[in-house]
């Protein structure tokens, strides 16, 4: 095997542990410097490849690369940019080949979710369909937890832990206040299509917390929801509501898009949480508080799940090892061997079976009334939030790394990105 | 000194460390069981005293009391209930005396903010004005950081740490996304009257993060704000905005109360964050994300500041020790001896000088343009977020304690709480 350089890029929404995968890729490539030359990272994802805006990761110290493991976000920048099919986006694929040729790139590691798996799959076909030899391996990442075959997706476990811990803490708070003040706490969480993240809030039930969940999988039934909230408050004195940003009415309209308008009559982009909180107040009269976690949940490296960090790293490492074994067009996966004790190992899946397949939350994970999670769901979730993996701190704040991100000298004419 | 029982209660909004003060009070009282009998806690604050709904903390194991130190919220329940002056609320004060007499209570430890300091002050006068001997000591607590004389207030340091860390993490996230997607991240924080908490978000500037703060102390200037945001985005590619819930227009109207109405025309209680985010989008066209931290910030014991936890405990301990020295009508305080290295000790302040005095943020802590914090402010804040003090975890979640809260047998007829 002749020595080739590698390309690595981060794609889509970033997470608390996508840099841990980057760390796994780069550290492993460095261990095999007899077979892999430089690792070039795309600045802002695949755009960096198209624009020939490559980052020379060799310029980063071992210490800086190691620090990626405990640094949230995308250290090289990410992007929301989807390549279409080989035919429709032929110009872009030809440009990728030009850039790969110019920089002697033989390995393509793409770190992302469903859309990126599809792009990676197409790149993996360049060899066969366009005669350019490149091994493309997809490193899974998505807080949405919706990639198929793999038991779970890096990024999700840490969000799940963050939401479970935050819901627990805020529930203790509202419980303290409920006698004379707040009786309802509403937290809005990510997950436009699937309720994986919302489900994590349900884990606090095992701590005696009354919780009602609004899943995107379940059409919103206002009457049943209000009755459930009233019942919990009458029984416990308070209730916590976890609402997915994707919760919607039977007609498909999101709760968050309730036709809210500002003083000038402009449609206002609000959240689902204030809508739900105001709805409860109006119908039941309970005083409320609400929070919208948004980026805080997916960036919360300070509270990352240890199993999530370990898997993110292991999947990055496995991507390189599989490449060195000659693999192409695959995604390393997490294979669960046992939930209690939690035992997992790395497997692999062909990208042809990953691309364009969305894994939904099984309906048997949601209780019959539609507002809670089942024992099977808890058994699935608990292992994913196991363990803590704190970043180092300096002066009271996490000591996260910002890389130099030195540019590799360009060799090609500019490319016009549409 | 004859042996008397003690009464302890939690008041107002709870925090990540108010239970650490409870732990300090109870553990110290237990060490002096020759002088202090039982510690009775008020269930839901002072209401528990008026209703003779007392909790027998002696029924809790040493282990459970020790666990209060790492458990957020108010373990005995809190309340929002303000006693008026001795004349206007005579009936309530007489009831307090009856309950204190019935349960042989000679020490009154009240753990709260400004309003509670006032109540505690009034109780401290019962001895002189109503002939009942009780020593009343106020244990400071408030995330608003607005009690006078003490250098800072327990609860604030942990919120400050949470907001600084969350702003840092979300800023890393938006920085990764900014090339093709989100360029503005807005986080809304607590602090209706004072910008202490919002100021903490400004600490991320030292990590190279462009941040714009909207303080309640500064009348909102939309034009200057938008210009500042545009400048930061043009310079850095993105910007983080920290907006206090108390940020308001020159006419005093809160940004959060922008006349937003739902589809039915009802006034909608929204947050300041979505208002600010939409305003930027409309004027500058930047894609945004926003979060409202709400209870998450004050309940986040998982990320508590070590100095905050230590001070909360030390102030609880000092309250008991001062009582045993015969003190009445005081509040133990934090005295800063040095910022770097951070050195503090416990002092005391007469309640007559604490009650009804609100400490505002010094204007020299805010930069001249009104959107940032000064070096002096940072020097004040950094020590307060120093150190981590993680709770123990079990099964992926913090192992917080829920006390038994056994009721002390009632000896008096019921009291009608208005």
Instruction: Assign B130 a pLDDT band (cuts: 50, 70, 90).
Output: confident
pLDDT higher for A87 or B307? B307
Closest CA–CA distance from residue A107 to any residue of chain B (Å)? 23
In total, the C-beta contacts within 8 angstroms joining chain A to chain B are 250
Do B41 and B59 contact (CB within 8 A), yes or no? Answer: no
- Tell me the three state secondary structure of residue B28: helix
What share of chain B has pLDDT > 90, as a percent?
90
Query: Which residues, numbered 158 to 177 in chain B, qualify as contacts with chain A under a Cβ-Cβ cut-off of 8 Å?
Result: 161, 164-166, 168-170, 172-177
Q: What's chain A's average pLDDT? A: 95
Entry pTM? 0.97
pLDDT at B267 over 70: no
**Catalytic residue of the set A118, A144, A146, A389:** A144
Q: Do A174 and B295 touch (CB under 8 A)?
A: yes
For chain B, give every residue range classified as CATH 3.40.50.460. 156-299
Chain A environment of B177 (Cβ under 8 Å): 13-14, 74, 78, 80
pLDDT at A256 over 90: no
d(CA A287, CA A177): 10
DSSP readout, A316-333? Answer: HHHHHHHHHTT--SEEEE
Q: Do B14 and A289 touch (CB under 8 A)?
A: no
pLDDT value at position B157? 98
Closest CA to A69 of A13, A38, A28: A28
The pLDDT tens digits of the residues spanning B197-230 come to 999 999 999 999 999 999 999 999 999 999 999 9
Instruction: Assign B92 a pLDDT band (cuts: 50, 70, 90).
Output: very high
Please determine, looking at this structure, whether the domain spanning B4-142+303-357+387-398 carries the CATH number 3.40.225.10. Answer: no
Chain B environment of A386 (Cβ under 8 Å): 395-396
- Tell me the three state secondary structure of residue B313: helix
Judge whether A291 is closer than 8 Å to chain B, CB to CB. Answer: yes
Sheet holding B54-56, edge to edge: B54-56, B36-42, B4-10, B105-112, B135-140, B330-339, B342-350
pLDDT value at position B96? 96
Closest CA to A180 of B245, B297, B9, B313: B9
Instruction: Assign A127 a pLDDT band (cuts: 50, 70, 90).
Output: confident
* Closest CB to A400 among B172, B269, B296: B172
What's the mean pLDDT in A87-108?
A: 95
pLDDT value at position A257? 79
* Closest CB to B80 among A174, A180, A396: A180
pLDDT at B269 over 80: no
Instruction: Assign B417 a pLDDT band (cuts: 50, 70, 90).
Output: confident
pLDDT higher for A143 or B268? A143
pLDDT at A269 over 60: no
B329 phi and psi angles, rounded to 5 deg? 60, 45
d(CA B284, CA B234): 11
Judge whether B248 is closer than 8 Å to chain A, CB to CB. Answer: no
What's the mean pLDDT in B109-127?
A: 94
* Closest CB to A291 among B179, B277, B296: B296
What share of chain B has pLDDT > 70, as a percent?
96
pLDDT at A267 over 70: no
Residue A348 tokens, joined: 């692999």
- Tell me the three state secondary structure of residue A174: helix
Catalytic positions of B, written as ranges: 144
DSSP readout, B220-267? Answer: --HHHHHHHHHHHHHHHS-EEEEEETT-B-TTS-BGGGS--B-TTS-B
Q: At the topology level of CATH, where does A4-141+303-357+389-398 sit?
A: Rossmann fold (3.40.50)
d(CA A258, CA A268): 9
The pLDDT tens digits of the residues spanning A296-322 come to 999 999 999 999 999 999 999 999 999
pLDDT at A265 over 60: no
The pLDDT tens digits of the residues spanning B58-68 come to 999 999 999 99
Residue that is written with structure tokens 């790395």 in the block: A346
Query: Which residues, numbered 218 to 247 in chain A, qualify as contacts with chain B under a Cβ-Cβ cut-off of 8 Å?
Result: none
| ipTM over the 0.95 cut-off | yes
pLDDT value at position A71? 98
The residues, any chain, with a CB within 8 Å of residue A323's CB and separated by 6 or more, are: A6, A107, A109, A135, A137
pLDDT value at position A308? 98
Chain A environment of B164 (Cβ under 8 Å): 396-397
Instruction: Assign A1 a pLDDT band (cuts: 50, 70, 90).
Output: low
- How many Cα neighbours within 13 Å face the side chain of B41? 30
* Closest CB to B177 among A14, A175, A273: A14
Q: Do B277 and A269 touch (CB under 8 A)?
A: yes
pLDDT at A263 over 90: no
Query: Which residues, numbered 192 to 221 in chain A, qualify as contacts with chain B under a Cβ-Cβ cut-off of 8 Å?
Result: 203-204, 207-208
Judge whether A369 is closer than 8 Å to chain B, CB to CB. Answer: no
For chain B, give every residue range classified as CATH 3.40.50.450. 4-142+303-357+387-398
Closest CA–CA distance from residue B325 to any residue of chain A (Å)? 32
Residue of B nearest to A75 (CA): B176
Cα–Cα distances (Å) from A210 to A177, A230, A366, B7, in that order, read 15, 11, 16, 30
Do A180 and A209 contact (CB within 8 A), yes or no? Answer: no
Chain B environment of A80 (Cβ under 8 Å): 177, 180-181
Closest CA–CA distance from residue A128 to any residue of chain B (Å)? 31
Which value, to the nearest 10 degrees, does the dihedral of the CA atoms of residues A180, A184, A185, A187 take? -170
Judge whether A339 is closer than 8 Å to chain B, CB to CB. Answer: no
Closest CA to B244 of B182, B159, B176: B159
DSSP readout, B319-337? Answer: HHHHHHTT--SEEEEEEEE
* Total residue length of chain A: 418
Chain A environment of B74 (Cβ under 8 Å): 176-177
The pLDDT tens digits of the residues spanning B349-377 come to 999 999 989 999 999 999 999 999 999 99
Chain A environment of B170 (Cβ under 8 Å): 294-296, 299
Judge whether B276 is closer than 8 Å to chain A, CB to CB. Answer: no
pLDDT value at position B265? 56
What's the mean pLDDT in A282-295?
A: 96
* Closest CB to B298 among A173, A181, A388: A173
Instruction: Assign B140 a pLDDT band (cuts: 50, 70, 90).
Output: very high
d(CA B187, CA B182): 14
Q: Do B396 and A402 touch (CB under 8 A)?
A: no
Least confident of A21-35, A55-69, A253-267, B320-334: A253-267
Q: At the topology level of CATH, where does B156-299 sit?
A: Rossmann fold (3.40.50)
Closest CA–CA distance from residue A171 to any residue of chain B (Å)? 9
d(CA A152, CA A401): 27
* Closest CB to A258 among B262, B398, B402: B262
What's the mean pLDDT in A60-69?
A: 98
Cα–Cα distances (Å) from B303 to A7, A163, A301, B16, in that order, read 37, 14, 11, 9
What's the mean pLDDT in A362-388?
A: 98
What share of chain A has pLDDT > 70, as a percent?
96
Residue of A nearest to B203 (CA): A397
Q: Do A170 and B299 touch (CB under 8 A)?
A: yes
* Closest CB to A203 among B275, B305, B397: B397
- Tell me the three state secondary structure of residue B118: helix
Q: What's chain B's average pLDDT? A: 95
pLDDT value at position B82? 85
């Amino acid at each position: 095997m002749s020595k080739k350089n590698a390309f690595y890029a981060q794609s889509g929404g970033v997470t608390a542990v996508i840099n841990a995968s980057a760390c796994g890729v780069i550290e492993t490539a460095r261990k095999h410097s007899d077979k892999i030359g430089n690792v070039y990272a795309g600045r802002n994802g695949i755009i960096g490849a198209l624009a020939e805006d490559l980052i020379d990761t060799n310029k980063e110290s071992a210490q800086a690369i190691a620090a990626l493991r405990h640094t949230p976000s995308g250290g090289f920048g990410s992007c929301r940019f989807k390549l279409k099919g080989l035919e429709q986006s032929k110009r872009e694929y030809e440009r990728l080949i030009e850039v790969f040729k110019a920089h002697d790139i033989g390995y393509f590691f793409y770190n992302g979710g469903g859309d990126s798996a599809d792009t990676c799959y197409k790149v993996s076909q360049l060899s066969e369909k366009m005669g350019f030899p490149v091994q493309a391996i997809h490193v899974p990442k998505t807080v949405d937890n919706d990639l198929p075959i793999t038991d779970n997706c890096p990024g999700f476990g840490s969000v799940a832990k963050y939401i479970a811990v935050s819901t627990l803490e805020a529930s203790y708070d509202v419980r303290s206040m409920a006698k004379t003040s707040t009786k309802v706490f509403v937290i809005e969480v990510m997950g436009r299509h699937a309720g994986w993240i919302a489900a994590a809030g349900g884990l606090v039930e095992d701590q005696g917390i009354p919780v009602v969940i609004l899943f995107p999988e379940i059409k919103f039934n206002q009457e049943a929801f209000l009755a459930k909230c009233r019942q919990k408050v009458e029984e416990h004195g308070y209730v916590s509501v976890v609402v997915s940003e994707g919760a919607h009415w039977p007609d498909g309209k999101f709760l968050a898009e309730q036709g809210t308008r500002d003083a000038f009559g402009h449609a206002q982009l609000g959240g689902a949480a204030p809508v739900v909180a105001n709805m409860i107040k109006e119908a039941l009269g309970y005083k409320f508080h609400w929070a919208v976690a948004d980026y805080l949940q997916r960036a919360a490296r300070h509270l990352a799940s240890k199993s999530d960090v370990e898997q993110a790293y292991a999947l990055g490492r496995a991507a390189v090892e599989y490449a060195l074994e000659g693999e192409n067009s695959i995604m390393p996966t997490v294979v669960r061997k046992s939930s209690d004790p939690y035992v997992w190992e790395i497997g692999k899946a062909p990208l042809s079976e990953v691309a364009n397949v969305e894994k939904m939350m099984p309906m048997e994970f949601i209780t019959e009334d539609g507002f809670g999670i089942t024992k099977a769901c808890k058994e699935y979730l608990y292992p994913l939030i196991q363990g803590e993996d704190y970043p180092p701190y300096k002066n009271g704040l996490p000591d996260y790394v910002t890389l130099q991100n030195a540019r590799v000298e360009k060799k090609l004419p500019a490319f016009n990105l549409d």
